[in-house]
Homo-oligomer: A and B are copies of this chain.
């Protein structure tokens, strides 16, 4: 496995792969790899010749009071895991490499960014879109892989690919969970012991709500959201609900009914971590 820190060097590698007729699968990450990331790699290995992973904790997508500084890191373990799982090339640029002082043109997301995570993280998806557009142009993947835990990110990136006519396919991969149901996230290590014990309630509640919805238990979208809100308020002693929202996916608009491609998403604040999770009515088309 090659480690590459420099953009120009990465572009040379990509140019060589293209010249050799290889297809490229891209797995963008912020590192501190877990099984969720490794599932993206596994999916990529089935579909492309060469898997390129990036590890970059993108400062542009963190707000001032967010956890940029405490975002967990373990590069040595990441290198080992990536190698072990068959990643061919690992792109690890510095922030100065990705955002030199001269950088002046940013992406802004005008729709779908002021709801869900966007409302408590203003500018977050602008930062995501900007870095992903840069990474796509460096890596030039045929397919890029994103986890469905960040469903809103998947929806926005798909929109960006359409808006800018990019020659690549976005493949969303289902959320990987701990045995107790908690969605895998690099941030989980920053939960306290008590918070970690409580956190699986989030998924349990979402899954129960989905089952009830499929059985026709809720008359309205608001009725479903309210049920989840009451259940989480009852079960979470440490977590504070940020939002509970049901939307059509990937349009991210209010659904008329609780059928079809519907997503139920939530975010919960803990002391040092904000967790997100979601369930979908239909499996996202792969």
Oligomer copy total: 2
Q: Select A164's contact among B110, B112, B133, B140, beta carbons within 8 Å.
A: B133
A105: B residues at CB distance < 8 A: 107-110, 129, 156, 159-160, 163-164
Q: Is A96 an interface residue (CB 8 A)?
A: no
Q: Complex Cα distance A166/B164, Å?
A: 13
Listed from nearest, the 5 A-B pairs whose CB atoms lie closest are A104-B111, A137-B165, A104-B110, A105-B163, A105-B160
A115 within 8 A of B: no
Q: Are A137 and B164 closer than 8 Å at their CB atoms?
A: yes
The A interface, classified by DSSP as helix, strand, loop or mixed, is mixed
Which residues of chain B come closer than 8 Å to A164, judged between CB atoms? 105, 133-134, 137
- A283 CB, nearest partner CB in chain B, Å: 23
- Kindly state whether residue A217 has any CB partner on chain B within 8 Å: no
Whether A241 sits at the interface, judged by CB under 8 Å, is: no
A103 within 8 A of B: yes
> When the two chains form their complex, are residues A106 and B108 in contact, meaning their CB atoms are under 8 A apart?
yes
- For residue A144, give the distance in angstroms from its CB to the closest CB of chain B: 15
Give the distance in Å from the alpha carbon of A262 to the alpha carbon of B161 in the complex. Answer: 38
Instruction: Check if A102 is an interface residue, CB within 8 A of chain B.
Output: yes
Binding site for B on A (CB under 8 A): 7, 11, 102-112, 129, 133-134, 137-138, 140, 156, 159-160, 162-167
Chain B residues whose CB sits within 8 angstroms of the CB of A133 once the complex forms: 164
Residues of B within 8 A of A167 (CB): 11, 137, 140
Contact at B111–A162, with CB atoms within 8 Å? Answer: no
The reply to whether B165 and A134 form a contact with Cβ atoms under 8 Å apart is yes
Residue of B nearest to A139 (CB): B165
Q: CB-CB < 8 A to A112: which residues of B? A: 104
Question: Within the complex, what minimum Cβ distance (angstroms) separates A116 from chain B?
Answer: 15
Question: Across the two chains, which residue of chain B brings its CB closest to A129?
Answer: B105
B residues less than 8 Å from A159 (CB atoms):
102, 104-105
